[in-house]
Amino acid sequence: MTTLWPAPFAPRPVRARCVVPGSKSITNRALILAALADGPSTITGALVSRDTRLMVDALRGLGTTIDVDGATVRVTPSATLTGARIDCGLAGTVMRFVPPVAALAVGDVFFDGDEQARVRPMAAILDGLRQAGVRVSGDALPFTVHGDGAVDGGEVAVDASGSSQFVSGLLLSGARYAHGLTIRHTGDSLPSLPHIAMTVEMLAEAGVRVEATDGAWSVTPGPIAGRDWVIEPDLSNATPFLAAAAVTGGQVSVPGWPAHTTQPGDAIRGILTAMGCDVRLVEGTLSVTGPARGTLRGVELDMSAIGELTPTVAALAAVAASPSRLTGIAHLRGHETDRLGALAADLGALGGRVTQLDDGLAIDPAPLHGGAWRSYADHRMATAGAIIGLVVDGVEVDDIDTTAKTLPGFAQLWDAMLRG
């Protein structure tokens, strides 16, 4: 039976300095590029979490030598990748980024994951691999990539409206394909564009030429350079801590905030400002000071580029003094859980007024009360419950340890924040 975690209630403004571990998105991209490189790489400040451990284990299974010493990871690529059995867990980066690598292996690579992972969209990237000349059995987990040591590449057309990871996964391996890779997006919308920009920027840093036009990306065939990667703090994981300042009228500072970044989490600065917070970035430290308790302003946001922030923003909106409308996020129904349905259900169970839209949520102010908050094995749902619990006494979050997916020790970090 899942243990319920009593979310700490904060009767006073939260005042704290919170150090946030490295970015999962950058760490797992760096691991893929290091495994495909023409020489050794070192990754400094890497996130150590379930998702990154799954990525390390997957690449080791394919034959890559990886030495992990805390947040420092040394990667030595293998001249020949081999068949393997890959556990994806619930990690989208593993299930979408590793199959294009596995296509370069000699032998069959079998993929499976958690029960919830088997319903996550996968057909687009697997069909893209087939168009590139790869044999694949299956259209969702579990599936098998039949590698023969090389991939032709060329031009592929994919509908990436379900996840930007379909594009990023193909881009990361494309330089190793004989004819490179051109990816054309065929869908009506493309979510989380900052994550594709992150992929393109990191490829360029590894010496790979990528040309991007509207809805298409071309990767030139050639080597991927081994290099030293320094990982930024995970800005999306920082957002619940900054939200604590916003909902309690306190002040929270996060050091190490980059002046330039492709992380979608950086958008929280503008969102919190729009909701009435004072937000300042000074010499690499981001500080957020919330307005008087109960006076946060609601917002109308197109979150198509920053969907992963939706649970945090929905929690803020639920305790704001005016309505909010969050749109452009229909793709969240295919994340770790149906995040739109989950947020509507959990907030509704606590007395919130939430309406599901075709592509988002409408949230109207309403008095909230304590009760159970379900995480659905989704790390961002769990942290959203923690935010609500700061200002609503009696909230109990199930499976708080699911936050280990990207932020191990979250409950301890949360308690430390409240102690200041």
For the chain, domains (ranges, CATH) are 5-21+232-419 (3.65.10.10), 24-224 (3.65.10.10)
Give me Rg for the CA atoms of the chain: 21
pLDDT given at position 224: 98
Percentages helix, strand, coil for the chain, rounded to the nearest 5? 35, 25, 40
When the pLDDT of each residue in the chain is averaged and rounded to a whole number, the result is: 97
| Residues 18, 238 contacting (CB under 8 angstroms) | yes
**How do residues 73-121 score in pLDDT, each as one tens digit?**
999 999 999 999 999 999 999 999 999 999 999 999 999 999 999 999 9
**How do residues 282-310 score in pLDDT, each as one tens digit?**
999 999 999 999 999 999 999 999 999 99
pLDDT given at position 358: 95
Distance CA 415, CA 420 (A): 9
Kindly state the average pLDDT of the residues 372-394: 97
Provide CB contacts within 8 A for 353, sequence distance 6+. Answer: 363, 364, 365, 366
Q: Is the pLDDT of residue 337 over 70?
A: yes
Q: Is the pLDDT of residue 178 over 80?
A: yes
pLDDT given at position 2: 66
| Residues 284, 256 contacting (CB under 8 angstroms) | yes
The catalytic position among 211, 232, 283, 308 is: 308
For the annotated binding site, the residues are: 24-25, 29, 92, 120, 163-165, 192, 308, 335, 339, 380, 405
pLDDT given at position 334: 84
**How do residues 15-54 score in pLDDT, each as one tens digit?**
999 999 999 999 999 999 999 999 999 999 999 999 999 9
3-state class (DSSP) for residue 381 = helix
CA distances from 23 to 145, 237, 261, 316, 381 (A): 28, 8, 11, 23, 18
| Residues 117, 105 contacting (CB under 8 angstroms) | no
Kindly state the average pLDDT of the residues 161-180: 97
Kindly state the average pLDDT of the residues 235-239: 98
**How do residues 127-155 score in pLDDT, each as one tens digit?**
999 999 999 999 999 999 999 999 999 99
| Residues 332, 220 contacting (CB under 8 angstroms) | no
Cβ neighbour number for residue 203 with a 10 Å cutoff: 22
| Residues 271, 315 contacting (CB under 8 angstroms) | no
Q: Is 308 among the residues known to form the active site?
A: yes
